[in-house]
């Protein structure tokens, strides 16, 4: 007998039983579908027929696991006590019987294209070869000892005789790799088919049920393709995974339960004709009325006798007890999406409901996530023990557990950081492997008193050993002797000796300068740590080799400041410095530019505009950039376009936590001055509220009387700069008339034209103003040593790093300085920040605390910080950022520029990511 005949005979028999069972269901489980004798009699007769057929060889041997009943025996046993069962048990029995019959048909090769009418989820059918449903997983009720039948009208109070099956059983997930920790068998068993991969690029309308309207809504979220949808990650997850027993849910509690639907009805009532859909649901501990409002169509969607998972609020309304349903799902009709699990919460847009979006995403995850190409090299995955990309995407949307969610997040966050880091390494390599930079070697004794200028720094200060051309500096003529130096040693010419930290970073810089490929270095050091002398020493070395330097500052006043100090530092060597600013007189400026072009001047100081000017800096050997976040990529490109390839030193006084430094400046080597010159008096910092203001005002008056100057910083007005300016102007008027009528007051705010701003700052610097009332615009680098006291209003509104910068404006001279942090009664977070500031003056400690307390988004206080738009990664996650960096360096060392074929997908991803990162 052929196999196909066997299967069709089995199917016919199964179909007959199925029809009877379905009929019994429709008739309300009254045991009236078969007369006489009911289901029990039918089962006996049917089993005889099956056995006969088997004996005639029409069915083959009973296929079942050893020890298990043949299906006909199982059915007989299942319905044996049907008549004596209570209604709910009958429901369960019929369902179990149906499953059994279907498994019989399924076992004889039921074609996958005609799924059974009930109780088979998409995952079950997707699994193909998964074993049929065993009765024990569906109907424990049918096997347990049962109480005598009770009359139906008391149904509401009846608990089930036995607990509902577990959700896992209900979902009937295929678990082919039981025992492994892999959460979902997402990797397709068969090799990916091209048409499925194309699905990733398909418009979202390829998803069943997504029409034009939904497509438009998704577009508003930036989701156009199925792939976009997969990368539309949840903001968070609601934990609806913990199932409670109905009997244990308290009043006022929102809980998730699993029970059997007993009865469903629509009830119209109330003045406004509200329709309430009420389902009676029970488990073995109790029963409850679940209520939905104004969704009458639910009546048809909630079949009696089906298991349901409900998340809702248990309330007492009048003398009724109800569960107001927030979300529900029928676990047997498919995977749980909206409840009974960790439920994803997505950013939404008008008209797009959470449920609709979850449904689409679930579809995309089930059908397409497996085809997202893995771009991480296998070696990196092995070293990091990360989930595969398809797994991570699936688990990040619909996690199996809190743990897999964490693993998924880790993988996706790692990806982002890894791409940033590889991009950084690429940038640095491009810069350093580019055209050679001049070899700028320091003659022994030029910088250091002890003549150690040419000594190599300790090897560990070079985290990265670049390849590329070396010492081809002859490409640029080395016109040494252009500026004959008149003094011999820089350190001796100073009124002080270098600090140990200054000496160390100078060594690192000098080593870079003599190497022949362009230096790319970040010099960070707290306010007043002495970065300017370090820069001046580097400039001197360039000059000694016949090369010019440019020193760039973010504002004109800072440029002027640098001009004065660098001129003074280099004067003993006979070097000339030119200042180039926008507010210079045309003639003055022309003269400066002319001097530069003719090589008469070795240093140009100016704002960043200097780079864009048609300034001839043909012999530019070194560019020093002061106080700039994320100066770098674009400016380097600007320089390159002018055909220049100088060494680059970026300086910042905002200490940056390591993770941020790696992310923002990962393309730079970092040198840190972590030591202040000896004998600095720390600023006396006092955090006050209420009447503390009077104390502060008194001290301002006293200091001014002693010939000192003061800053008063006005509150931050988040809404707009215009409002902030208005508030500052008002405060200025008030202080002038009410508080400091005797003193000379000045005002700066962001709405002033740059020239006006500069004028006010200059007047203050020149001592013609006693008290400068200002908004946050004074933050950066201004050096007025005579200013000794600063008042910061509403200090709790500013970030720690910003407050530290403000405070750095005082304490720059010989006099004891003070900083008052004024705030109203601050909240917990703010109190923590202000007390950290009161007790420490270490910028790095503060920066770490700021990042920890407020997160990277607020760290710089502005959106223009150049921080990448990271969807998953958290920059405060130090270990992960460090790991991403380490892995990126490891990979880069094996395959610089990711040229190997195996790394092509990764290279592509880096290029894409980097384009967005830089454009940001």
Contact residues for ligand ADP (CB under 6 A)?
Answer: 496, 498-499, 502, 525, 527-533, 653, 677
- Smaller CB distance to ligand ADP: residue 653 or 700? 653
| 720 token code pair | 């707009």
User: Residue with CB nearest ligand ADP?
Assistant: 530
> Min. distance of Cβ 565 from ligand ADP in angstroms?
7
> Min. distance of Cβ 772 from ligand ADP in angstroms?
19
> What DSSP line would sit under 817-866, residue for residue?
-EEEEE-SS--HHHHHHHHHHHH---HHHHHHHHHHHH-HHHHTSSSTT-
Rounded-to-10 torsion of CA 346, 349, 352, 354: 20
| 132 token code pair | 């049929």
> Min. distance of Cβ 492 from ligand ADP in angstroms?
13
**Distance, CA of 484 to chain centre:** 54
> Of 599, 657, 690, whose CA–CA distance to 881 is shortest?
657
| 186 token code pair | 């997402």
> Min. distance of Cβ 525 from ligand ADP in angstroms?
5
- Smaller CB distance to ligand ADP: residue 14 or 656? 656
- Smaller CB distance to ligand ADP: residue 224 or 497? 497
Burial 801-828 (b: 16+ CB within 10 A, else e): bbbbbbbbbbbbeebebbbbbbbeebee
CB 162 within 8 Å of CB 85: no
> Min. distance of Cβ 511 from ligand ADP in angstroms?
20
Helix (H, G, I), strand (E, B) or coil at 109: coil
> Min. distance of Cβ 569 from ligand ADP in angstroms?
8
- Smaller CB distance to ligand ADP: residue 102 or 627? 627
> Min. distance of Cβ 503 from ligand ADP in angstroms?
9
> Min. distance of Cβ 781 from ligand ADP in angstroms?
7
- Smaller CB distance to ligand ADP: residue 520 or 527? 527
> Min. distance of Cβ 822 from ligand ADP in angstroms?
25
- Give the DSSP letter of residue 2: -
Helix (H, G, I), strand (E, B) or coil at 169: helix
Beta strands 254-269 and 307-317, pairing class: antiparallel
> Min. distance of Cβ 868 from ligand ADP in angstroms?
28
- Smaller CB distance to ligand ADP: residue 7 or 524? 524
- Smaller CB distance to ligand ADP: residue 529 or 659? 529
- Smaller CB distance to ligand ADP: residue 414 or 490? 490
Beta strands 320-329 and 620-626, pairing class: unpaired
CA–CA separation, 197 and 230 (whole Å):
13
> Of 63, 333, 335, 62, whose CA–CA distance to 174 is shortest?
335
% helix, strand, coil for the chain, step of 5? 45, 15, 40
CB 839 within 8 Å of CB 858: no
Element (H, E) at 512: helix 500-513
Q: Give the bridge partners for 624, in sequence order.
A: 551, 649
Beta strands 684-688 and 274-283, pairing class: unpaired
CB 33 within 8 Å of CB 24: yes
CA–CA separation, 226 and 206 (whole Å):
8
Strand ranges for 616-734 from DSSP E: 620-626, 647-652, 669-673, 684-688, 709-713
> Min. distance of Cβ 389 from ligand ADP in angstroms?
45
- Smaller CB distance to ligand ADP: residue 502 or 817? 502
> Min. distance of Cβ 545 from ligand ADP in angstroms?
23
Element (H, E) at 873: none
> Min. distance of Cβ 501 from ligand ADP in angstroms?
9
- Smaller CB distance to ligand ADP: residue 199 or 534? 534
- Smaller CB distance to ligand ADP: residue 719 or 814? 814
Rounded-to-10 torsion of CA 771, 776, 778, 780: 150
CA–CA separation, 637 and 619 (whole Å):
18
> Min. distance of Cβ 528 from ligand ADP in angstroms?
5
- Smaller CB distance to ligand ADP: residue 269 or 495? 495
CB 115 within 8 Å of CB 183: no
- Smaller CB distance to ligand ADP: residue 375 or 531? 531
> Min. distance of Cβ 456 from ligand ADP in angstroms?
23
CA angle 587/593/599 to nearest 5° reads 135
> Min. distance of Cβ 653 from ligand ADP in angstroms?
5
> Min. distance of Cβ 579 from ligand ADP in angstroms?
17
CA–CA separation, 338 and 244 (whole Å):
16
Element (H, E) at 36: none
Q: What Cα–Cα distance (Å) separates residue 796 from each residue in 226, 731, 824?
A: 45, 18, 8
Give the sheet arrangement for strand 577-580, strand by strand.
577-580, 603-607, 548-553, 620-626, 647-652, 520-525, 669-673
- Smaller CB distance to ligand ADP: residue 615 or 784? 784
- Smaller CB distance to ligand ADP: residue 626 or 883? 626
> Of 818, 903, 760, 915, whose CA–CA distance to 379 is shortest?
903
CA–CA separation, 550 and 555 (whole Å):
15
> Min. distance of Cβ 452 from ligand ADP in angstroms?
16
- Smaller CB distance to ligand ADP: residue 183 or 525? 525
Element (H, E) at 354: helix 354-368
* Alpha helix stretches (DSSP H) within 179-337: 194-201, 212-220, 226-230, 298-301
- Smaller CB distance to ligand ADP: residue 502 or 602? 502
- Smaller CB distance to ligand ADP: residue 635 or 652? 652
CA–CA separation, 157 and 280 (whole Å):
10
Q: Which residues contact 272 (CB under 8 A, 6 or more apart)?
A: none
């Amino acid at each position: 007998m052929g196999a196909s005949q066997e299967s069709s005979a089995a199917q016919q028999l199964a179909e007959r039983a199925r029809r009877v069972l379905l009929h019994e269901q429709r008739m309300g489980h009254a045991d009236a579908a078969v007369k006489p004798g009911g289901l029990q009699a039918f089962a006996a007769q049917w089993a005889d027929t099956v056995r006969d057929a088997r004996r005639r060889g029409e069915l083959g041997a009973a296929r079942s696991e050893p020890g298990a009943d043949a299906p006909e025996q199982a059915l007989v046993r299942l319905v044996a006590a049907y008549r004596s069962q209570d209604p709910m048990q009958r429901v369960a029995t019929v369902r179990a019987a149906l499953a059994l019959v279907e498994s019989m048909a399924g076992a004889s090769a039921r074609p996958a294209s005609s799924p059974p009418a009930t109780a088979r989820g998409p995952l079950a059918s997707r699994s193909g070869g998964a074993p049929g449903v065993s009765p024990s997983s569906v109907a424990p009720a049918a096997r347990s000892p049962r109480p005598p039948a009770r009359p139906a009208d008391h149904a509401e109070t009846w608990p089930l005789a036995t607990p509902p099956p577990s959700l896992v059983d209900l979902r009937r997930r295929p678990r082919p790799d039981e025992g492994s920790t892999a959460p979902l068998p997402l990797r397709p068993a068969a090799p990916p088919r091209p048409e499925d991969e194309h699905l990733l690029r398909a418009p979202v309308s390829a998803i069943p049920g997504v029409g034009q309207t939904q497509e438009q809504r998704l577009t508003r979220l930036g989701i156009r393709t199925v792939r976009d949808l997969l990368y539309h990650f949840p903001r968070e997850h609601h934990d609806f995974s913990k199932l409670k027993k109905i009997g244990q849910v308290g009043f006022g509690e929102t809980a998730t339960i699993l029970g059997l639907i007993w009865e469903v009805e629509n009830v119209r009532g109330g003045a406004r004709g509200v329709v309430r859909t009420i389902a009676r649901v029970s488990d073995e501990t109790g029963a409850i009325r679940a209520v939905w409002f104004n969704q009458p169509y639910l009546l048809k969607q909630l079949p009696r006798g089906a298991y349901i998972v409900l998340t809702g609020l248990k309330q007492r309304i009048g003398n009724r007890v109800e569960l107001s349903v927030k979300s529900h799902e029928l676990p047997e009709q498919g995977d749980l999406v909206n409840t009974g699990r960790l439920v994803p919460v997505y950013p939404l847009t008008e008209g797009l409901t959470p449920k609709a979006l979850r449904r689409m995403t679930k579809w995309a995850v089930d059908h397409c996530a497996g085809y997202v190409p893995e771009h991480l090299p296998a070696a990196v995955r092995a070293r990091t023990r990360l989930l595969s990309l398809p797994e991570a995407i699936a688990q990040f949307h619909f996690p199996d557990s809190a743990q897999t969610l964490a693993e998924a997040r880790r993988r996706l966050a790692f990806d982002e950081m890894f791409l940033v880091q590889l991009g950084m390494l690429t940038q640095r390599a491009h810069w350093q492997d580019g055209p050679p930079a001049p070899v700028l070697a320091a003659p022994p004794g030029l910088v250091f008193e002890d003549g150690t200028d040419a000594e190599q720094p300790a090897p560990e200060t070079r985290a990265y050993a670049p390849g590329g051309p070396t010492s081809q500096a002859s490409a640029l003529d080395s016109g040494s002797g252009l500026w004959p130096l008149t003094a011999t040693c820089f350190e001796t010419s100073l009124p002080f000796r270098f600090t140990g930290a200054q000496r160390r970073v100078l060594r690192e810089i000098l080593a870079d300068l003599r190497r022949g490929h362009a230096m790319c270095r970040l010099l960070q050091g707290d306010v007043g740590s002495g970065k300017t002398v370090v820069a001046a020493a580097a400039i001197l070395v360039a000059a000694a080799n016949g090369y010019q330097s440019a020193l760039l500052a973010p504002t004109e006043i800072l440029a002027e400041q640098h001009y004065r100090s660098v001129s003074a530092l280099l004067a003993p060597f006979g070097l000339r410095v030119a200042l180039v600013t926008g507010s210079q007189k045309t003639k003055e400026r022309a003269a400066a530019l002319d001097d530069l072009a003719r090589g008469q001047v070795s240093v140009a100081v100016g704002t960043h505009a200097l780079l864009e000017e048609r300034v001839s800096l043909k012999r530019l050997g070194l560019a020093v950039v002061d106080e700039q976040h994320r100066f770098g990529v674009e400016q380097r490109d600007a320089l390159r376009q002018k055909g220049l390839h100088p060494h680059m030193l970026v300086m910042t006084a905002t200490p940056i936590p390591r993770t941020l430094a790696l992310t923002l400046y990962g393309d730079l080597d970092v040198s840190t001055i972590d030591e202040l010159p000896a004998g600095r008096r720390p600023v006396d910092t006092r955090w006050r509220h209420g009447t503390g203001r009077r104390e502060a005002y008194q001290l301002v008056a006293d200091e001014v009387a002693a010939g000192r100057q003061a800053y008063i910083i006005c509150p931050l007005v988040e809404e707009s700069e215009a409002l902030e300016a208005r508030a500052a102007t008002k405060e200025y008027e008030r202080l002038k008339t009410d508080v400091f009528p005797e003193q000379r007051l000045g005002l700066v705010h962001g709405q002033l034209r740059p020239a006006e701003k500069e004028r006010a700052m200059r007047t203050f610097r020149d001592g013609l103003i006693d008290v400068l009332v200002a908004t946050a615009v004074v933050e950066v680098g201004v050096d007025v040593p005579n200013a000794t006291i600063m008042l910061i209003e509403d200090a709790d509104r500013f970030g720690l790093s910003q407050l530290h910068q403000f405070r750095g404006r005082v304490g720059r001279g010989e006099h004891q300085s003070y900083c008052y942090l004024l705030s109203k009664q601050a909240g917990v977070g703010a109190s923590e920040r202000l007390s950290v500031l009161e007790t420490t003056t270490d910028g790095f400690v503060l920066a770490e605390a700021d990042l920890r307390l407020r997160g990277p988004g607020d760290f710089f206080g502005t959106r223009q910080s150049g921080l990448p738009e990271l969807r998953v990664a958290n920059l405060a996650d130090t270990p992960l950022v460090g790991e991403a960096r380490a892995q990126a360096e490891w990979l880069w060392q094996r395959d610089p520029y990711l040229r190997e074929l195996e790394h092509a997908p990764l290279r592509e991803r880096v290029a894409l990511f980097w384009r967005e990162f830089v454009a940001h």
